[in-house]
């Protein structure tokens, strides 16, 4: 087992990516290279940066990858707002994504703090 697999925030980010893939399957076909792709890439980026950062030798390097993961959470959230306004996401799906993104964001903030304080 890799170290990142033990992190609850990584597990939750995988769950969020699964949810994003599920809801974007119903997006219009013309959005395949638009919001569908953007949402999926941002969602995958969260867990990927957590995993990659965990392999770094220094806590400072790991913290930088956590910052990038946090940016991806915010990017995904912004895109979810657009998808909702365009009618591609139901209110219920939007609210779940938003809540999950908030939770992951808080967890990433806590992880970054633990890496940057002695």
pLDDT at 99 over 70: yes
Greater pLDDT, 8 or 57: 8
Where residue 117 falls among pLDDT bands split at 50, 70, 90?
Answer: confident
What is the pTM for the complete model shown?
A: 0.95
Chain-centroid distance of CA 69 in Å reads: 7
Residue ranges of the alpha helices (H) in the chain? 8-24, 35-54, 59-85, 91-116
Q: Which domains does the chain have, with CATH numbers?
A: 3-116 (1.20.1440.60)
Percent of the chain with pLDDT over 70: 99
Greater pLDDT, 117 or 88: 88
**What is the distance between the alpha carbons of residues 39 and 83, in angstroms, rounded to a whole number?**
9
pLDDT at 28 over 80: yes
**pLDDT of 118:** 61
Greater pLDDT, 117 or 44: 44
**Averaged pLDDT, 21-50:** 97
């Amino acid at each position: 087992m890799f170290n990142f697999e033990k992190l609850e925030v990584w597990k939750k980010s995988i769950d969020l990516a699964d949810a994003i893939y599920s809801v974007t399957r119903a997006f219009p076909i013309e959005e395949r290279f638009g919001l569908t792709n953007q949402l999926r890439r941002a969602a995958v980026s969260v867990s990927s940066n957590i995993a990659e950062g965990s392999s770094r030798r220094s806590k400072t390097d790991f913290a930088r990858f956590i910052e990038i993961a946090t940016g991806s959470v915010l990017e995904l959230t912004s895109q979810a707002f657009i998808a909702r306004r365009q009618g591609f996401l139901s209110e219920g799906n939007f609210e779940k994504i938003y809540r999950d993104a908030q939770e992951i964001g808080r967890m990433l903030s806590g992880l970054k703090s633990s890496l940057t304080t002695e």
